[in-house]
Amino acid sequence: MLHEYEISELEAKGERRKFCPVCRGKLSECRPAICPFVKKLSAWIPIERFQDRLVFGASPPTVLVGEWGYPKVNVGPAVSAMEKDFVGLLDMYEKWLDFSMDELLLMRLSLLHGKKKVGVTSARTPNKLLESFQELAMSSTPVDAEMEFESKPSLKPLFYVREPPIGPSAPLLKVRLVENPSVPRTVEKVVADTDLRAADAIITMYRSGIRQEHITRLLSIGLLGAKNERKVVPTEWSITAVDEIIGKSLRKEVMKNPLIDLYEIYGFEALYNRVYILLLPLRWMFEVLEYWHNMPSRLPYSDHEFPGFPDRYPENIGGAYHAVRLPVLEHLSARKRQAAALVFIEVFPGWLPLGVWRLREISRRALSMRSTRASSLDEALSLLSTKLKLPIEKWIRASWLLDFLKNQTRLE
């Protein structure tokens, strides 16, 4: 299943886009002194902590796996320049909505990354360095670590549409964990079980209350699945894979439940992102519509799934699709109800690409609030027209689900 998240042949060769998707500047000329977003934060980034080849700090814990050059990729841990009491927040996405954009960017740029090139199948027979990465990834709490680099770390801000930027980085010589990681019993069991499929391990941990970020970290560093199938997985692919695997499991349950009674609208806005979720009293169907106001297009982007049609990768929305679908399924599963869902996303100027986590958490926050109810689809769309900036007519024209319902009504 993970092959669905592999990058294109061009990207695998290490050929990157030429322009920053945020400021439109040349990536080849990108540096902190001229980046309009990093420059104003540089005074608060403790650069002096990054001037040595030997660095000590607390890891949230964080282990990142890159994409470029797949199937040989950069892998390594990150330690923070912040106080240890604060470091745990760097791995708690559910709390990030309460921070400002500047605070979130500062948090990301204050993580110092070590990187080592490894083959993805080396997870099956890891060397000592990769073993130390895996040991760190198993921890549920911050771990003090010491990293030695080949050269002084450097900071080069690079923004991508779906991926968060990273802080200073350098090739890694060795890493030493200064304290023992705190590993939950469930994590120990699934990692030790070399006959357990990765998808089953993910569901087992999720239902045992292991945090989603922890599960993603374990999949990414190659600790899940049958022994001869384990491999290191790029972090961004792992995030989407975990969202999708958990979502599919919940979807099976939800599709057996009775329908909701009325049309329900949930909404929340944070960090220049607005999400509205319309639940319809119909069998499970799902669609995400997304519109970026700083990159205007004629109509919103769209991806969808209908009963009876095979699942396919959401080419237009990407990983954000599964990041939004999961909270909707969690909500319906908790209520023991079934519904169709139409999600409206508006991204406003001011947002910087810090990852799809924000759509997952905004959706969860929205669904935790009281809904606005309507007795008909027309009434629900009329209510939504007062909440969305883009005219409702454009959302309707872009929606496969609404078109399907309109044609179905004609046939009846």
pLDDT tens for residues 357-379?
999 999 999 999 999 999 999 99
Q: Which of 36-40, 257-261, 384-388 has the lowest mean pLDDT?
A: 36-40
Structure confidence at residue 4 as a pLDDT band (50, 70, 90): very low
How far is residue 375 from each of residues 66, 279, 280, 353, 399, measured CA to CA in Å? 48, 12, 10, 37, 20
CA–CA separation, 220 and 278 (whole Å): 33
- The reported pLDDT for the residue numbered 33 is 58
Structural contact between residues 376 and 130, judged by C-beta atoms closer than 8 angstroms: no
Per residue in 101-148, pLDDT (tens digit) is 888 888 888 889 999 999 999 999 999 999 999 999 999 999 999 999
- The reported pLDDT for the residue numbered 166 is 74
Structure confidence at residue 91 as a pLDDT band (50, 70, 90): confident
Q: Mean per-residue pLDDT for 389-400?
A: 98
List own/partner pairs for 183-187 with CB under 8 A and 24 or more apart.
Answer: 183/138, 183/139, 183/140, 184/140, 184/208, 184/210, 186/210, 187/138, 187/140, 187/214, 187/218
The dihedral through the CA atoms of 182, 186, 187, 191 has a sign that is: positive
More confident residue, 84 or 239: 239
More confident residue, 174 or 158: 174
Per residue in 335-351, pLDDT (tens digit) is 999 999 999 999 998 88
In degrees to the nearest 10, what's the CA dihedral of 207, 58, 218, 231?
Answer: 180
Q: Mean per-residue pLDDT for 164-178?
A: 88
Phi, psi (deg, nearest 5) at residue 61: -90, 150
Q: Which amino acid is at 375?
A: S
pLDDT of residue 163 exceeding 80: no
pLDDT of residue 13 exceeding 50: no
* DSSP β-bridge partners for residue 148: 54, 174
- The reported pLDDT for the residue numbered 157 is 60
- The reported pLDDT for the residue numbered 235 is 92
User: 3-state class of 200 per DSSP?
Assistant: helix
Unique residue bearing structure tokens 């409206």: 344
Sheet (strand 372-374) strand order: 301-305, 286-292, 340-347, 273-280, 263-270, 372-374
Q: Which amino acid is at 37?
A: F
- The reported pLDDT for the residue numbered 24 is 59
- The reported pLDDT for the residue numbered 14 is 38
In degrees to the nearest 10, what's the CA dihedral of 389, 244, 330, 278?
Answer: 30
Does the reported pTM lie above 0.75? yes
Structural contact between residues 238 and 218, judged by C-beta atoms closer than 8 angstroms: no
- The reported pLDDT for the residue numbered 45 is 62
Structure confidence at residue 407 as a pLDDT band (50, 70, 90): confident
For the chain, what is the mean pLDDT?
A: 88
Q: Residue 48's CB: how many other CB atoms inside 10 A?
A: 8
Phi, psi (deg, nearest 5) at residue 377: -65, -40
pLDDT of residue 27 exceeding 90: no
pLDDT of residue 214 exceeding 80: yes
Q: Which of 39-53, 75-89, 156-170 has the lowest mean pLDDT?
A: 39-53
- The reported pLDDT for the residue numbered 30 is 66
pLDDT of residue 7 exceeding 50: no
Per residue in 273-302, pLDDT (tens digit) is 999 999 999 999 999 999 999 877 889 999
**Strand 286-292 and strand 54-65: pairing?**
unpaired
- The reported pLDDT for the residue numbered 355 is 87
Per residue in 181-192, pLDDT (tens digit) is 999 999 999 999
Q: Which of 19-28, 211-220, 226-235 has the lowest mean pLDDT?
A: 19-28
- The reported pLDDT for the residue numbered 48 is 62
Q: Mean per-residue pLDDT for 184-211?
A: 98
Q: Which of 66-75, 151-160, 193-202, 323-332 has the lowest mean pLDDT?
A: 151-160
Q: Which of 228-242, 264-278, 287-301 has the lowest mean pLDDT?
A: 287-301
Q: Mean per-residue pLDDT for 166-182?
A: 93
